[in-house]
Structure 1
Amino acid sequence: MHLRLPTLLASLRTLSRELLGVLGQLETRLRESNGLAPLSEHGLRPHASALPPPRIPASEIPGGLGIGDVGPGVEHDVAVTIGPWDGFEDGDHLRLYMGEAVIAERPMSAADRFRIITLEVPVAAIRAQGDGAYLFMLEVSNVLGAPPIYSLPLAIWIKTSRPGGHDPQPDTETINENLAPAHVIPPGLIDLDQAKVVVRPRPETPTTGPWVNATEGDRLRVSWHGRYVDWGPLTAAHLTEPEVNVSIPRELIEAVGRGEAQVSYRILDRVSNSSLWAPYATVDVPIDRPGAPPAPWVRDTVDDLGLVLRLADLQSRDVTVEVKQGHGGQAGDRLRVLWKGVAADEQPVPPYTTDWRTLTTSDALEMFTVPYAHAEVLGEGRVTVTYELQPTGKEVVTSKRLTLLIEGKAQSLKPPLLRDVDDVLDIARFPTGATMAAPWQPDRIPAGSIVTFRWVGQVEGQSKPEYADGANDTEVTLPYNVMRQLVGGPVRIQYQVETFANDPVDAASLLRYPRYPHARPRADGRAILAIVESPWITLQVIETVELAPPIFPSANRAKQILYADLVDGTDIEIPDYANRQADDIILLMFECFENDDPGYTHDPQTDIPIPKGHFQLGPFEPGDEPPPWRYHIPRERIFFDRNGHPRYHLHARYSVTARDNPSRPILSESDFVRINLLGQPPIR
């Protein structure tokens, strides 16, 4: 069927009207969500199509603008392309908004119709807005007073902070020494099926996430001797976790092979900023050598496979390890057994090594004893058992490995306590420090044990070792100056208990493992038998600061202001507060409304609440204006809402945060102050 030309033109006009209607509805919703005037007051130019959103070519492949685009030291402009659009008229003026800030503008004319216009935006204008998600939007106004026209927004992420933090040694071009080296678990890779690379910040780094400047969308790439494992993206739940664990497939480890493997990682954020590589860690991969002597055997294991050892079956007896015939040792050679394991949750435990034994018979059965305590401490963990054979005048030969699962739980420690604290530690209540306690557990913390507390938050640290008396809780003070550094974030606290053997041991046999500095004899010759860690507890650390409510100087005692006194607007004052810090930031929030519900809009891209009015004061510098601080609200922000209805109430409040970490929870927030407007509102 063929349409006649008049019918086709009529159909096109109808379709155009419908399209303009859809665009109008979309623009109306966008304006309402951003507090702009409704479409009915502005309208679309009847001859023009919808104004397209701006384009930022540099942001399209990486997903935003990063360090190389707008970071410190970058001086070139950022190109933003406009159009083509058929609606430009003589006398038009184009503005480019980034959030609420105008970052570029230029005059336009009818000659610009159907052209692609490039705006060169100074990088400083973008960088000044800070990191985050922003809506870039165009506004076209006309000198003749025609209603302005707005484009749909373009959502862009800006990120000028390097994941992992600033590189302190830029001369090492591919390495960021601010990153902690990769940590490989289980210790000694005693089980290749459970191999993981743990990424965590350096102990001295003040951050609560797995790395400095961690944000949602970050991704990890782990390098295992040049072979890669990718992980991510980082979610909001990960931002409060102290580390990230990346599993390494056994097939990849075996493909690289035994011996030393170089392990590292790097981080890429959502706009492709790179952390560079972490300093390399060296891991000794314990794959059995071809032709190695057969693995030992452990008595009392569950079945013929001998891969499970139950603590209940041992009934507190020592473990017997058999080195069976076939090891190849000759009379005069030396032999010893190595017992290396990890406890539940991959907690490292000092290894146990028997004394060297000189063989009296060639290639005969030899039996060794491992104290029960070295099995019990590995409850719900794993152990690898090997032996070393040193033929006379030759190098040591290591046997194949036997890996056992240890079933049965070691008796666990009770979690630590903070006296007079539940889930929130308010340091204002503890000016001389808070008391941490390891509960009395004589069977797990016998007299003479050493108890050490550790805390991990915005700073990390540990207490001085404290000896347990075996009859009371073991208590240590968390100093006030440490708590002050923890304010605004969570802190995790645990304690560690070192218990000791009763009999002296050979110091040389313990010092063979420098990777375990705790495997050492004490001055009295007693050796550390086990190191056990308690569960972690997590507390939120705050400092209560009483904030007086804001003040409206022009209000009477009944908290009323006459419309007649608002010709030039009104002022809001913020009084001084206790413990004010030089790096504090005050955020003043106010709202003018016509009923009892002030309400907040939400950013359609980030779902972040947006107060109708806000103003930032601080951070404060020496010589700044002393308190109280005053902010002026112009009359046009007070009298009418966007629908033309008069407003009858004002609300105001303010909050205090710290500049060094503006994303952390609010330190304190004042109460709302409500002011009633009286009299006859002006006619709009």
Structure 2
Amino acid sequence: MDSLKQTTLLAKPKLHSTNDPSGIGHLDTLDPSVPVLIRIGPYIGMMDSDYIELFWGDQEGSIANYTVKPGDTAEGTGSFVTLPVDQRYIVPPADINPHYRVDTWYTVKRLVGGTFNKSERLPITVKLTVPGGIDNTPDTPYINENLSLCTITPEGTIGNGDLDQVTVNIAAYQNMEINDAITVFWHGTPVRHSLDELPAADQLISVSIPRETIIGAGDSDTLVGMYEVRDTVNNWSRFSLPTYVEVEAGNSTLPAPVAPQAANMELDLASLAGADVQALVLSYPGINATDEITFTVERNTAEGLGLDPYVAMKPVGTSIGFVQFLIPNEQFEPIAQGRARLKYKVRKVSGEEQRSKSLPLTIVGEAQVLAPPKLPAAEENNGVLDPTAHNVIAQVPAYYFMADGNDVTLVWMGKTASGANVIHEEVKNLNSDDVGQTVAFLIPDDKVSALAGGTLELYYTVTTFARAFFKSPSLQVQVGTDGGALLPSPSVDGASADGVLDPADIVLEAVVRVRPYAGMAPLDKVTLHWDGSTPDASYSTSTTLNSGMLGKDVIFRVKKHYVDANLDGSVAVRYEVVRGNRTLASETLLLKIGATVITPLPDPTVKEAKEDGTLDPVDTFNGATVVIDASANLKEGDFVTVSWQSPGGRYAKDKAISASQAGQELLVIFSGTIVANDLGNKVQIYYVVTRVDGTIEQSNVLDLLIDTALSHLPKPAVAGVDVNNIMNLENVPGYGVLITVPRYTGIDEKDSIVVKWDGPQNHVTPAKEAGTAANIEFVVPKSVVIGSADGAVQVTYEVTRNNALPLVSPATAFKVVAGAKPPLIIDTSKLVLSARHLRAAATPKFPPAGAFAQRVASGGVAPYRYESSAPTIAEVDATGRVISVSNGAAAIIVTDSAGQRVSYNVKTSNVLTFVYFIFHTYTEAMKPVNSAGAHMPSLADWNTLRANYGGDPGLSYEAGRDSRAWAADVAGLGKRWAIFPRDGRTLALKDVGFGGEAAHAFGMKG
């Protein structure tokens, strides 16, 4: 026992770096050199010099340790550390079952104050086998050929009489275990099944397909049935090969559409080369020109996730033989390696609707993956994050399976210059307005500033409603110091302004200068790199600074040989500064080696000017910005004069180029008053550069017409959109939706205007002249509105004058709602769970009556998701079953697929948790139990606990000790009963302090 004083238990450690938060799986062990990280802290009173040791299962002694650094406890760093678990502790020998549970915990020794703290244990599930086994067929990365084909009963064609007896039958698969989650996809619709018990030999797993699923999927000559399996730590089997069955139970009276480009029901995106996909609705007896066809493409990604369907509508019209639909290629790119189903409905003038069979397609192509996150503040600074930046935004790009209800978690993992950890995590639950948009996260300033001189790893995870878990690639970012850019590039004497060094100008050696840099200090080791086209043409040397060199150029001399050796090539010149264990890199100077050729200056441009060569004073409220491109290669000491020449006079602005402006784009602003004074005139803009060596260069002249143009356009008004930006389809009149364009500033009667409706179905109105009416009105047909049902819509208008480029108005955005959704219903009265409940950390299989209850949601839009606001007080499973965990209050929240939520409150009491304390004699064991306010369990308590779990309660014991535990019952003079919790065996042990026998001590704590 440690001689230091032991205090209260510390918080449990956490898994930090696994691919799924539910445990350690196969993906976590693919690279044996990459450890699993365990996060420790923040814990109360974390101090510098705390000595942390990490323990793992039955391993003797600690497996990792760490001494807390000052930076770990600095404000803004998060006060936590990560310790590695080498994979030799995780991956068992070949003869050991690779599915097990292991406890990890840590201790903290504090030399100052003499305390020894121990954490609670974190039970971790480790499962390294994959359901169905590892599939090594590279051509089908999302199919596991090890999985048997499913069979579908009844055999043959499934008709209306079979709706209540359809099952998908699955044979036993490799690594099958209880609690595997099997998902059957019935023509793309998921049907979930939990494997509560293992089937007997040669027995199939039968999954019933609900009647409504069969009817909703509709009829098909080749309906697709397939399945996947995910285990308790989310190891994924991939998909089985498809089984095809004919279904005639969905009241379809029309044949499936035809896809000429999809031979054998496979659509190869590479062969399309970006072309749209042709789908044909063939003519049939009774079809009329006035009939309206609604064409639908249902889509599932390579991982089986359903995306919003593509819907298009058009009248039959005068088509002969077939009606053609061209489906945009971009609708299929997100589902490469996935599947699509094509079908249509025909609506008669009478209102009668006819439904077609569906055509399933396999989409062949390169599957999409998550893009890394973006950090614009670093991208705009040559990939370096400035630690003094404020309001830094991290961005998660829109991803291919983005959907309402996704949880997107951004993880900001930094290391300070001293090696301390800086963490920021934020979760955003997406709603329908987020789909297709970049998700932005604001990073607290203290999480940025703390990283000065350090590094940053940035990634995000996505958890879908169905528990699929995705992790993005990491973005590695260098963090600068004191403003964060790389050190300035070196300079070379005699190099031209456009980066050319002429060997003819070098007599003996080239002189390379390293300007004084921020933080220049004695003992800095400065290393020059002259990187030529070959090793023989490259050179490197170094020098160590002394106090007399501070504030001065550091001079390096490169022999002429290394210049001549790169003739007609290029050289990259850079340097590094090594200070202690840190290395600071400079920007690179690229030099061409050859005869000096003066490159013409780039033409000036004006940022606010239009492509037609006009500049509108309305756009220059903050001035007109003259831009000189970075290719002008301006150097420190150059002098630039920018001129604005007009009939009203000449205006000039001078700029002396500083070190920070060298090589950068130069912006020079002329006031808006100057622009307004030249209204109707042509102006000439040019600039002159006087180089530091006395050379004078002049740019070409930019001619601009200062002309009035349309001022900023107002949004269009859309009839029927309420204050919540919702358009109810039931309220749309038969003729459609009225769009009103108000008269805008600077309007001309001859302006040509069109209205654009962008949504699930797009529409462009015929053009109208602005005329003289108070408002310009347009109508979007109701068929277009119907085709946009339950989708987001943006309405804009474009104004064209004199055949110039059109000006686009801001958008009026709203959502078209087909009808009210049924309310989500559940019993919202307070639930009281007050039965005496003895439990361990794991969920008991057979909790006592009164310690659990089940409330099932109805109404709304199934399926439903149940979650607890406080899982450590009350836990709830996917069926709505709630079990008390500890004493307190929580709320159970139910969410349906439409995003509706209801909740009810839960009050729990009389929960006693078995907590481990020590392995010792009974007398000594009672001391920490009593000190913690706990009670030693009796044999009756132990038997109740085992009954609640149906046997072994899964407790953890001190490594290397017998698994017996003390009971409070007296077993005779000087003896107490002990029990083996795993199997219920009992024995009597001496309970005296000196010479007594030892067992594990557990206390019951409320």
Q: Above 0.5 in TM-score? A: no
More helix by share: 1
Scaled by the length of structure 2, the TM-score of the pair is 0.25
More strand by share: 2
Q: Indicate the structure whose relative CO is greater, using CA pairs within 8 Å and at least 6 residues apart.
A: 1
